[in-house]
Amino acid sequence: MTNSSDLAARPAEDGGFAPIEQPPQHRVIFQPAGRQGLIDAGVTLLDAARQLGVEIESICGGRQTCSKCQVRVEEGFFPRHGITSSASHVTGEGAREAHYRAEKGLLPDCRMSCDARLLGDVLVTVPEESRARKQVVRKAASARPVVLDPAVRLCYVELPPASLEDERSDWARLADELAARFGLDRQRLHIDPAILPSLQPALRQGRLRLADSGDGDDRSLGQIVHGVTAALWQGREVIRLEPGYHERVYGVAVDVGTTTMAAHLVELLSGEVLATESCMNPQISYGEDLLARVSYVMEHDDGLETLHRALIGALNDLIAQATAAVGLASADVSDLVVVGNTIMHHIFLGIDPRELGGAPFAPATKDAVDVKARDLGLRTGRGAYVHVPPVEAGYVGADNVAAIVAETLHHREEITLLIDVGTNGELVLGNRQRLLAASSPTGPAFEGAQVRHGMRAAPGAIERVRIDPATLAVQYRVIGCEQWITSAPRAGQGMPVDEEHGQGLSAKEARELRQRRRAEEQAMLRPSGICGSGVIEAIAELFKAGLLDGSGRFVADAPTPRLGFEGAKGYVVLAWPHETSTGRAIALYADDVRAIQLAKAALYAGAKLLMRHYGLAQVDRIVLAGAFGSYIDPEHAMVLGMIPDCDLAHVTAVGNAAGDGALLMLLNRDKRLEAVELAAAVGHIQTATDPFFQDEFVAALHIPHARDPFPHLAPVLAEAEARRIIQPAAASDGQAASATQRNLRRAERQERRRQR
């Protein structure tokens, strides 16, 4: 922001008796900032604000063109400030402002601050709309307030036509005007050479005849000028030029996940999210998980090229879709922030990720990177930059930094455990004083892989499961269908109407009810598998109902027809064949439980290691992030022993925190600096080589845990224990099962041995 008062300090050159004394000064108070001071008469309110350090939005730099700088001059005597303010204490509306008000309208009682010059004392209110760095609350999964201060801002300038007297180049004339109007450092100001070709056409097309020289300078009616809007990156590089006046500039924030990628299209000056698009990461065809991608690069000469192109291609498609959805084009995008795990980060930037494929997992760089989008093959605005935040470690990437920025762990006093649940779990623990991060190799079980009837979280997947502990009846919910479905063992027989709704229905009413039911049934989506959140809930519910013991074994003689055995391995039917779209039952198998036990133990052990290094026995709050994290029910996750004990009221799911963090960095460049500081400050714990990892991992295999107490789950766990027919042996050292339990187990085992 400029402090220049060039407009005000114009000396009176026309008379022969230039006054020596200072011009008179007037008191100016700005609300709600509360800034005040004495300002020379004749200065515009916009410049007065700049002199007093009050930030008012302006794109046109004081040409009564953008109307962003509107303020209200209060009327009357204000005893608290001891000031008498009046609309007549500033100059009246100039022709351009009057024209604008007539054509497009201004806020009631407001003036363009660039047109109102000081004549007397004033109390000025800056409405929210006019504040630079205004705070907006985005409407997303979790509404996060953000101060608008994007890396790209728009500056409108009007240049007189080139003349024989003025030998400066068009760029120099533009740069000089930008520097003067917007208080920029002329020395640092430069233009992206790639957009130079658009400079003169933009000036030519922006040619206009001034209606009036409303701002009182020496241009007169009918003068020809060239109006052009420059998009300025980080206050120093012109990255886009458009003829005429523009006040919208677009950016895209992208989270590149191993499995899915999501892009938000945003208008940067308003913070408005215009469109959100997501798609599968096309690299899946070259390997399901991260390491398979690295393997692909290692095994194919053109592997990196292939994966990079696939990613960029998908990103171009996403951006094209998002822009097209609101009548824009990819080329309208002027700024991007892209986050992802370290391997996605490398491939996105075209860096060979093979060093991340094995210990010591060294990234090529951990620093934040600003690179031209066009250099990566992105078809966005010619001069647009991509900002890629820093990474923390080989498996703690820019997505993690973005998630911390979004969740503001580093601003809080309470200790937060942030868990980004995915194929590779990323964990952060700490508060404003100290943050520690780790990754945990959970594997793909949480995403429905390694589960016999598992599937991705797509329509038709069972995502929620409830088991009545008393009757062992099963209810589930399917993605794409709002209502709960009660699983029932027999097909088609249609429960008698009056059984459910009592006697007294007329034949007509009963018929209507049946018809309504049938319609409902047809609309109902039948399940075809079970996704990660469904598996987690199913296991936790089975445990609560006493059908599964703490070691992860099905309880053999539980009284339900849903329980079956294949040899020694049990399974539980969740949906009977007639309920599914495949005609096969959907069941949860012993091996599925084992796979989830391994995954959840990795996550829990990672969290415990962080707590151990931090010196904590308890965390204040837990935040579940990641597309998958949002669908996990906190209580079920805790019963399963996926997350440490915590007050359930302080366990929240926040959705795609990494994507939200990318969005924040797009809207506020200070957040980018914050991310850089964070990445350097966050301590990293290497879980796999930690001496306590094996012990913590093995203890965490138990449901919920072999030795850690869960005081916040006490009633639930007590009930589960009471319902269990055979108590499991405690799996920790020194906690031997009671003698009776052991005898029971021994008898069971000897019976098996005889059968062999």
Partner 1 sequence: MDTDSFDSLPEVLQELYINMQDDLYDGLKDEVADATTEALEQWGQTPGQILQRGLVAGMDIVGQDFRDGILFVPEVLLAAKAMKGAMEILRPLLTDAKDVQRQGTVVIGTVKGDIHDIGKNLVGMMLEGAGFEVINLGINVDAEQFLAALREYNADILGMSALLTTTMPYMRTVIQRLNEEGMREQTVVLVGGAPLTEAFAEDIGADRYCEDAAVAVEAAKVFMEMKKRDS
Q: Binding residues for partner 1, per CB under 8 A?
A: 287, 289, 291-292, 294-295, 298, 354, 357-359, 441, 443, 551-553, 567-569, 590-591, 594, 597, 686, 688-689, 693-694, 697-699, 701-702, 706, 729, 731, 733, 736-737, 742, 745-746, 749, 753, 756
Give the residue among 600, 594, 588 at the shortest CA–CA distance from 708: 600
Minimum distance of partner 1 from residue 543's CB (angstroms): 14
Residue nearer to partner 1 on the CB measure, 389 or 444: 444
Mind spelling out the 3-state secondary structure of 560-603?
Answer: CCCEEEECCEEEEEEECHHHCCCCCCEEEEHHHHHHHHHHHHHH
Compute the least distance from the CB of residue 358 to partner 1, in Å: 3
Quote the least distance from Cβ 425 to partner 1, whole Å.
15
Q: How far is the CB of 439 from partner 1 (least distance, A)?
A: 12
Sign of CA dihedral 630, 632, 634, 640: negative
Q: Which residues pair with 646 in a beta bridge?
A: none
Q: Which region holds residue 382: left if phi is over 0, alpha if psi is between -120 and 50, else beta? A: alpha
Tell me how far, at minimum, the Cβ of 536 lies from partner 1, in Å. Answer: 18
Q: Which is nearer to partner 1, 616 or 688 (CB)?
A: 688
Give the C-alpha separation, 255 to 344, whole Å: 10
Apex 527 CA angle, 524 and 533, nearest 5 = 115
Cα 454 to Cα 462: distance, rounded to the nearest angstrom: 9
Distance CA 622, CA 615 (A): 17
Beta carbons within 8 Å of 456's beta carbon, 6+ residues apart: 447, 448, 531
- Cβ burial of 736 (10 Å; 0-12, 13-18, 19+) is exposed
Closest distance of CB 658 from partner 1, Å: 23
- Give the dihedral of Cα atoms 293, 298, 303, 307; nearest 10 deg: 20
C-beta of residue 73 within 8 angstroms of C-beta of residue 113: no
On whether the CB atoms of residues 243 and 202 are closer than 8 A, the answer is yes
CB closer to partner 1 out of 436 and 737: 737
* Cβ proximity to partner 1, 106 vs 688, nearer residue: 688
- In angstroms, the Cα distances linking 434 to 429, 444, 625 are 8, 30, 20
* Residue 709: both structure tokens together: 């107490």
Q: Between 76 and 358, whose beta carbon lies closer to partner 1? A: 358
Nearer to partner 1, 404 or 703 (CB): 703
Nearer to partner 1, 485 or 701 (CB): 701
State how far the Cα of 502 lies from the Cα of 497, in Å rounded to an integer: 8
What is the closest distance, in whole angstroms, from the C-beta atom of residue 553 to partner 1 in the complex? Answer: 7
CB of 725 to partner 1, least distance (A): 16
When the beta carbons of 143 and 556 are compared against partner 1, the nearer one is 556
Nearer to partner 1, 552 or 629 (CB): 552
Closest distance of CB 609 from partner 1, Å: 14
Q: For residue 623, what is the DSSP state?
A: E
Largest CA distance in the chain: 122
Which residue, 292 or 458, has its beta carbon nearer to partner 1?
292
Smallest gap, in angstroms, from Cβ of residue 590 to partner 1?
5
Shortest distance, position 230 Cβ to partner 1, whole Å: 47
Give the nearest distance from C-beta 695 to partner 1 in angstroms.
10
Task: State which residue, 633 or 690, has the beta carbon closest to partner 1.
Answer: 690
**Coil, strand or helix at 12:** coil
CB closer to partner 1 out of 188 and 749:
749
- How buried is 445 (Cβ within 10 angstroms: 0-12 exposed, 13-18 middle, 19+ buried)? buried
- Element spanning 73, H or E: strand 70-73
> Do 416 and 409 contact (CB within 8 A), yes or no?
yes
CA angle 522, 524, 529 (to 5 degrees): 125
> Least Å distance between CB 366 and partner 1?
20
Residue 733: CB atoms within 10 Å: 10
Q: State the nearest-atom distance from the C-beta of 360 to partner 1, in Å.
A: 9
Q: Which is nearer to partner 1, 63 or 702 (CB)?
A: 702
Sheet of 683-684: strands edge to edge? 651-655, 621-625, 416-420, 425-430, 435-440, 683-684
Choice between 305 and 733, CB closer to partner 1: 733
Q: Which is nearer to partner 1, 362 or 491 (CB)?
A: 362
With respect to partner 1, which residue has the nearer C-beta, 33 or 730? Answer: 730
Q: By the 8 A CB rule, do 497 and 566 touch? A: no
We find the least distance from the C-beta atom of residue 688 to partner 1, in angstroms, to be 4
Residue 494: left (phi > 0), alpha (psi -120 to 50), or beta? left
Peptide bond into 704 cis (omega under 30): yes
Kindly state the smallest distance separating residue 295's Cβ from partner 1, in Å.
4
442 neighbors 423 (Cβ within 8 angstroms): yes
Instruction: Look up residue 115 and give its two tokens.
Output: 């047109």
* DSSP assignments along 467-536, one per residue: E-TTT--EEEEETT--S-EE--SS-S----HHHHH-S---HHHHHHHHHHHHHHHHHSPPP-EE-HHHHH
